[in-house]
Structure 1
Amino acid sequence: MSAATAQRSTIVERLTKSWLYIGLIGIGVVSFVRIITDTDDLTGAGTIRAAIIATCPILAAALGGLWAERAGVVNIGLEGQMILGTWGAAFFTYHYGPWVGILGAALLGLVGGLLHAIATVTFGVDHIVSGVAINLIGAGAATYLAEAVFPEYEGGGPRQLNGLEAPAQVTIPGVSDLANTISDQHWFFVSDVASVIQALTTNISTLSLLIFALVIISALVLWRTSFGLRLRSCGENPQAAETLGVNVYLYKYVAVLISGALAGIGGGFLALVASSGFSTGQTGGRGYIGLAAMIFGNWRPGGLLAGALTFGYTDSLRLRDTQSVHSLLLLVAIGLLMFAAWRACRKQVKGALVVAAAGALVMAWFLLTDSVPREFTVMTPYVTTMFVLALGSQRLRMPAADGKSYRRGSAG
């Protein structure tokens, strides 16, 4: 094994251990808050299962954003591509079944990605302008196609198509039953880990498993293959990549097409798993939240997975009860204070003080109140989006050429 390969393996192992430790610490903190606040719903299997369902469409959109931006193309159009995916999933599932429906969702999202690639890569249109246009086109096209096609279908109407077949679910009987027994004991940490295992082994959609697998596949392709290296070089320094013989236009097109397809799969998940069918406007801004999760994750697969899980978890809590959201305030306060301590250890004094002040305010909110207004619980995932981006903005590093115009021959 070469020295470079050994170094890459060491880096991968180190990152894997780091995320494992972070995950275990996170579960420990949540378990502590659960016991302190006597809110078992914080880590109940139902909450975790709802969090997975809420996470998957956001995660698919975030992965789509990762592919595009690693090649230097900002894809604000993820929302529109997700909307196209919801219609594609509904149409193809109605005629051919759920897995063809997922392919149809990916195809419709890919069409949105193609439009974005033509505008930004070929014609040099500003990426933000093109993305906004894709969002408008996606919403308009899905609404028009729904009104034109679905009223003729059984269970259909001008704004919805219900009764669609969902992808199969998977249960591992022995593991699921044992995890359920341990989870019901409400022990510190152990029961919380058991709740996670129970949610992952009881009636979990095969499409959820596919989306989580796509995170691993994307990480391997982008960081462990020569194809991924060339694609990422297009997002860092396309002129230098061109001098080395990389077809920058081709790699940008491939990345944006994959980006659109992944966003479309996220839309398909919304139509087939998260709900019982298609309805117009059902994405609810998840494309934008996916983009935020990608930025929160610093343009890396592990980070965006953590971001998507964070947003999915907060989104699932608002569907439970207001007491869970109130307990979430303590969880956020502890997290902020731990983050402030970490920044202080790295001698980032100014940033540590700002984060610590935010943590103190949230802690005061928790201590001085007994509940959170129902109106605020609806806003929880969106407030979380803005909050983590504001706090994490100082440590972010986007690809150097992300969003910048590139013309063939500019290297000379």
Structure 2
Amino acid sequence: MTAPTTATDVNQPSLQPTAPTGRRMSLPVLMLVIAGALALTSIVRLVTGANGITNVSQMSTALQLAVPIGLAGLGGLWAERAGVVNIGLEGMMILGTWFGAWAGFQWGPWTGVLVGIVGGALGGLLHAVVTIAFNVNHIVSGVAINILALGATRYLAPLAFEGHQGGSAKQSPPVDSLGHFSIPGLSGALESLNDQHWFFVSDLAGLLGGLVTDVSWLTLIAVALIPASWYILWRTPFGLRLRSCGENPIAAESLGVNVYKYKYLAVIISGGLAGLGGVFLSIVANPFYLEGQTSGRGYIGLAAMIFGNWMPGGLAIGAGLFGYTDSLNLRGGSANVHALLLLGALLLVAGAIWLAVRKKYVHAVITLVVGALVFAWYAGTNEVPNQVVSATPYVVTLVVLALSAQRLRMPKADGMPYRKGQGK
């Protein structure tokens, strides 16, 4: 984003900011890419007979696992668009899980949601004070918050949960459900269509069926936060000012923007979103707090945000990808991962052809060789070890980040120290 050029541009409430410039995939092209990937997946399903890779249950589980990752990534996006690196997302999620369950089992699940958001926001506030007011290195502060949150919840859990029915030093009493819903008629029709195992149509039905079957109300809220964040950050004067703090805070200050205020607000919102992701884990995914239940999802959310190029839409796709690979652990993991080896080989071959068309011959040859090795692994085995299944989400995280690194563009002032008046 280019910083505003006049004070009037920043302060006028009638300002209509434009979308970020640069090479971005248009919506029609994006839909074609998704349709192509789904068609390729359908071919793999028909060849391998692994119908579980696109059934409704698989997609529903993937959505449930993607939500906390997406919320953590969305929190990171808010902070980093204002110029503050938030490695502390994991710790803020931990605070959300604990505070959400603590309030939820006493006063009800919706109270738990609100208190969990506040718990994560408190972690965000601490990170903001340390990095903005005292100019501590953002990475150091984030790591410290992760350690502090883990230690604090371990200390508080026995005090809060022991002595209550179902509670222990590492687990809270159960929390009532927020409730789930399915769209009558549509959910059943999509599931029946998915059971036909037709090419593409059944796979599309499985994908859509997972979005409308047995969905939590909190999932609906989380999904709505993606377009809401895009609209606020890219279509409002508030969002323009906030993003200017992450691109060029000195220029923003010279035009009347209170940089400190916007950075504080962004990091507190970031913590609240990560806390909401933690609440999802301790109230929706599991109806109780359990020590260690975040399992690094804050870090994977950060990776999803980077994969999405600091954009809400790309972040949602990244979270969905990581949630899907994580769901393979729960439903027919070994058979499904083995089938996806073939899909990976085909994608690598397609990538090699694309690189060759762009005259990047060395990269094309390397990609083709890797694709051949993956295909040899698929053809020479009938299943993959359970250890590979468990490691799949993390391997996919690394591979996706490595392949997308060349097109990434972080906010220019992300992580840079700032002092009021430093441009004078």
User: When the two structures are superposed, what TM-score results if normalisation uses the length of structure 1?
Assistant: 0.95
SS in 2 for 1:278: coil
For the Cα contact (< 8 Å) 1:355–1:391, is it kept in 2?
A: no
Could you report, residue by residue, the CA deviation over 1:242-264 in whole angstroms, capped at 9, with x for unpaired residues?
11111111111111001000000
Find the counterpart in structure 1 of residue 285 from structure 2.
274
Kindly tell me: are residues 108 and 8 of structure 1, through their superposed partners in 2, closer, same or farther at Cα, counting changes over 3 Å? closer
Of 135, 142, 147, 2:153 maps to 142
Root-mean-square deviation (CA), in Å? 2.1
SS in 1 for 2:289: strand
CA–CA separation in structure 1 for the residues paired with 2:238 and 2:360? 37
For the Cα contact (< 8 Å) 1:164–1:272, is it kept in 2?
A: yes
CA–CA separation in structure 2 for the residues paired with 1:98 and 1:394? 43
Kindly tell me: are residues 410 and 356 of structure 1, through their superposed partners in 2, closer, same or farther at Cα, counting changes over 3 Å? farther
For the Cα contact (< 8 Å) 2:88–2:142, is it kept in 1?
A: yes
| 2:220 maps to 1:243 | no
Aligned partner letter, 1:138: A
Find the counterpart in structure 2 of residue 115 from structure 1.
126
| 2:123 maps to 1:105 | no
Q: Structure 1 stretch 112-121 or stretch 138-147: which is displaced more?
A: 138-147
Of 48, 56, 67, 2:67 maps to 56
Aligned partner letter, 1:67: W
CA–CA separation in structure 1 for the residues paired with 2:18 and 2:233? 17
Could you report, residue by residue, the CA deviation over 1:352-386 in whole angstroms, capped at 9, with x for unpaired residues?
44433333332222122221101111111111111
For the Cα contact (< 8 Å) 2:252–2:259, is it kept in 1?
A: yes
For the Cα contact (< 8 Å) 1:19–1:302, is it kept in 2?
A: no
Find the counterpart in structure 2 of residue 181 from structure 1.
192
| 2:102 maps to 1:91 | yes
Could you report, residue by residue, the CA deviation over 1:232-291 in whole angstroms, capped at 9, with x for unpaired residues?
111111111111111111111111001000000101111111123110110000000000
Q: Which runs of 5+ in 1 are unaligned?
A: none
CA–CA separation in structure 2 for the residues paired with 1:95 and 1:149? 11
CA–CA separation in structure 1 for the residues paired with 2:299 and 2:323? 13
For the Cα contact (< 8 Å) 2:351–2:367, is it kept in 1?
A: yes
Of 166, 169, 185, 1:158 maps to 169
Aligned partner letter, 1:376: V
Find the counterpart in structure 1 of residue 298 from structure 2.
287
Find the counterpart in structure 2 of residue 405 from structure 1.
417
For the Cα contact (< 8 Å) 2:161–2:167, is it kept in 1?
A: yes
For the Cα contact (< 8 Å) 1:143–1:280, is it kept in 2?
A: yes
CA–CA separation in structure 2 for the residues paired with 1:84 and 1:6? 35
Q: Which runs of 5+ in 2 are unaligned?
A: 1-14
- The structural deviation recorded for 1:161 is 1.4
Aligned partner letter, 1:325: V
CA–CA separation in structure 2 for the residues paired with 1:257 and 1:9? 24
Of 74, 79, 88, 2:90 maps to 79
- Percent identity, please: 51
CA–CA separation in structure 1 for the residues paired with 2:237 and 2:365? 43
Kindly tell me: are residues 156 and 7 of structure 1, through their superposed partners in 2, closer, same or farther at Cα, counting changes over 3 Å? closer
Aligned partner letter, 2:331: R
Kindly tell me: are residues 373 and 9 of structure 1, through their superposed partners in 2, closer, same or farther at Cα, counting changes over 3 Å? closer
Between the two proteins, the alignment pairs up a number of residues equal to 409
Find the counterpart in structure 2 of residue 304 from structure 1.
315
Kindly tell me: are residues 5 and 134 of structure 1, through their superposed partners in 2, closer, same or farther at Cα, counting changes over 3 Å? closer
Of 385, 396, 401, 1:389 maps to 401
CA–CA separation in structure 2 for the residues paired with 1:406 and 1:5? 27
Q: As a proportion of its length, which structure holds more helix? A: 1
Kindly tell me: are residues 165 and 339 of structure 1, through their superposed partners in 2, closer, same or farther at Cα, counting changes over 3 Å? farther
For the Cα contact (< 8 Å) 1:44–1:195, is it kept in 2?
A: yes
| 2:365 maps to 1:365 | no
- The structural deviation recorded for 1:348 is 4.2
Aligned partner letter, 2:321: T
CA–CA separation in structure 2 for the residues paired with 1:85 and 1:6? 33
Find the counterpart in structure 2 of residue 337 from structure 1.
349
Kindly tell me: are residues 346 and 257 of structure 1, through their superposed partners in 2, closer, same or farther at Cα, counting changes over 3 Å? farther
Kindly tell me: are residues 246 and 355 of structure 1, through their superposed partners in 2, closer, same or farther at Cα, counting changes over 3 Å? farther
